[in-house]
Amino acid sequence: MTLLSTRGLSKRFAGLHAVENVDFDLPQGQVRALIGPNGAGKTTFVSLLCGRIAPTQGTVIFDGRDISRLPAHKRINLGMAYTFQITSVFANLTVTENVALAARRRLRGMAMVQATEQALAQVGLEGRLDQNAGDLSYGHQRLLEIAMGLVQHPRLLILDEPTQGLADSEIEGFMALIRSLAGHTTILLVEHNMSVVMQAADQITVLNFGQILAQGSPDEIRADRAVQAAYLGTG
Ligand SMILES: Nc1ncnc2c1ncn2[C@@H]1O[C@H](COP(=O)(O)OP(=O)(O)OP(=O)(O)O)[C@@H](O)[C@H]1O
């Protein structure tokens, strides 16, 4: 079953075609990586999916429903969760309080406490529960944001550069997390770290100048001449 689709999705900023006429389909349960050179339109594309910005043209369909005009918070209620390059944690609240706030969208009482603990353990932050979020490293703030997404048991989790700022050992932990979610949670992963992409993704979509340049398995994308030329600079 297809969980998320776009048809003719486009976003122009003044004269610039940041995303142009993108037809995209993401089956339920898949881990999809979205890659492409700097400025290819990846963040703009996922912002259109989440409702952070409005499209110039085209539609976004989630679970069979046209959500193109739905505000961002209603998309969250339908089961979309996302983290962006700029962290949105509350710096003066503790790690636990940040996740508990996100959990309150759907849970109360002990269920909320347990879900909060579980999400923090999933991302490996169980040792920092009472630390102020603002005192965490950038990488740990990204993991905290992922926990804030996970605690909502999303149907679609969109992660924009989740490994940026993480140490190698933490990237290993992140990959284990993705593996543990694979199958239940559909994941769209915008990522520059190619080794993460190649290991974590079932399928890869390559954007270039706002358009889909290629789509396929990690092996197919690695072997694709157009991708090598545009993205890896080796064509
Ligand atoms: N709010 C905006 N106003 C004007 N131009 C924008 C805006 N947001 C993005 N752009 C432009 O749209 C294009 C696509 O940007 P976008 O951030 O989506 O690319 P990206 O693939 O996510 O890049 P990166 O890998 O560097 O994060 C770029 O040329 C960018 O400068």
Please report the pLDDT score of residue 235 as a whole number: 44
Is residue 99 in some structural domain? yes
Q: Using one digit for the tens of pLDDT, what is the confidence trace for 28-50?
A: 999 999 999 999 999 999 999 99
Please report the pLDDT score of residue 157 as a whole number: 94
Same domain, 74 and 161: yes
Same domain, 99 and 210: no
User: Mean of the pLDDT values across residues 64-79?
Assistant: 94
Pocket test for ligand 1, best of 9, 12, 13, 56 (most atoms within 8 A of CB): 13
Pocket test for ligand 1, best of 43, 56, 82 (most atoms within 8 A of CB): 43
Query: In the 3-class helix/strand/coil scheme, how is the chain assigned residue by residue?
Result: CEEEEEEEEEEEECCEEEEEEEEEEEECCCEEEEECCCCCCHHHHHHHHHCCCCCCEEEEEECCEECCCCCHHHHHHHCEEEECCCCCCCCCCEHHHHHHHHHCCCCCHHHHHHHHHHHHHHCCCHHHCCCEHHHCCHHHHHHHHHHHHHCCCCCEEEEECCCCCCCHHHHHHHHHHHHHHCCCCEEEEECCCHHHHHHHCCEEEEEECCEEEEEECHHHHHHCHHHHHHHHCCC
User: Mean of the pLDDT values across residues 47-67?
Assistant: 96
Q: Whose CA is nearest to atom 28 of ligand 1?
A: 39
Average pLDDT of every residue of the chain: 92
Is residue 137 in some structural domain? yes
User: Mean of the pLDDT values across residues 92-113?
Assistant: 93
Please report the pLDDT score of residue 85 as a whole number: 61
Is residue 84 in some structural domain? no
With bands split at pLDDT 50, 70 and 90, how would you rate the model's confidence at 83?
A: confident
Ligand 1 atom having least distance to the Cα of 11: 12
Please report the pLDDT score of residue 234 as a whole number: 53
Same domain, 56 and 171: yes
Same domain, 52 and 137: no
Q: Which domain holds residue 193?
A: 2-79+154-232
Same domain, 161 and 146: no
Ligand 1: distance of its center to the CA of 40 in Å?
7
Please report the pLDDT score of residue 139 as a whole number: 85
Same domain, 158 and 228: yes
Confidence check: pLDDT of 52 > 70: yes
Domain count, the chain: 2
Which residues have any ligand 1 atom within 6 Å of their CB? 13, 16, 18, 36, 38-44
- The last residue of one of the domains, among 153, 185, 209, is 153
What's 69's domain CATH number?
Answer: 3.40.50.300
Same domain, 40 and 108: no
Higher-pLDDT residue of 9 and 231 is 9
User: Mean of the pLDDT values across residues 176-183?
Assistant: 86
Please report the pLDDT score of residue 87 as a whole number: 66
